[in-house]
Amino acid sequence: MASTLGFIGCGNMGGAVLNGILAAAFTNPTEPKPISQFIACTKSASSAERIKATIVPAHKEIIKVVSGQNVQTMREADVVILGCKPFMADEVLREEGVREALAGKLVISMLAGQSCEHLTQIIKEGSGAQSSENTQMVQGPKVMKVIPNMGAEFGESMTIIETPAAGISEEMVQTAQWIFDQVGKVKYLAPEQTGLATVLVGATLATLTLPIEGLLDGCVAEGFKRADAMEMVLQGIRGLSAVLESGSHPAAVRESISSPRGCTIQTLLSLEKAGTRSDFAEAMIRGNKHLKENM
């Protein structure tokens, strides 16, 4: 039976996943899907209006966009995606009524640095208004951790799914995988690897914009229009991706392109002299350290 998927927080990441699912899965309305309806709940009315403005007419009947209605969204949804900022988890999940609204449901957390166990505990504790006896009577949520990236909007996310805990049904796992299969590739990792993977698939999208921007600046300085340089750089990245996916090692690619007395080896020597490679390694280490310190 098809279900309703609710987003608690639908900003940049939540919006990317929502738009990616709609673009991939709902072009063929007759194909059976585990998710048939959507609720996007934002914090502010202005954010809700922004989302409404992006919804194409063909999707308007399957999406409801609301603001400030977290608990009501949780009640109406069969599956809930937590897409709020990680630091907002306590505020959102301790709201009165959350524990009951999420009882027994699949809750997919996209919150970096927040473990499934910690989120489950917050939900079980709730607002603290009920007795411990009543707390024990309410079935807990089934929390899975999933980390996509902004490529989701274009069907190009690398999504990490943390190995599900015992007690999460195969049907729930399949539902979660279907959702993120629509927006790119999915990879399962053990909990101890999820933190570093979060940095790799998320932060590096931002990190890699720096060398790209440097390439563009250099080309503009030498006489190219920025748009022309961007076109060539992006196609170069696509080509590099294809070569690496064929199994070539990055070092082998560099060596095969670098001709004796050529211009490519000069660019590489310049970057090696600046210590660029170690800077990127240090960026990963620092990002992972920060995530560990804030878990």
- What are the binding residues for NADP(+)? 8-13, 42
Handedness of CA 86, 125, 71, 137 (dihedral sign): positive
Q: Quickly count: other Cβ atoms within 10 Å of residue 80's Cβ.
A: 28
Strand partners, 37: 4
Report DSSP state, residue 140. Answer: P
Are the C-beta atoms of 149 and 202 separated by less than 8 Å?
A: yes
CB 203 within 8 A of CB 288: no
Which residue carries 């274009």 as its tokens?
154
Compute φ and ψ for 17, nearest 5 degrees.
Answer: -65, -45
Which residues participate in the annotated binding site?
8-13, 42, 70
CA–CA distance, 51 with 22 (Å, rounded to integer): 13
Binding-site residues for NADPH sit at 70
CA–CA separation, 240 and 216 (whole Å): 17
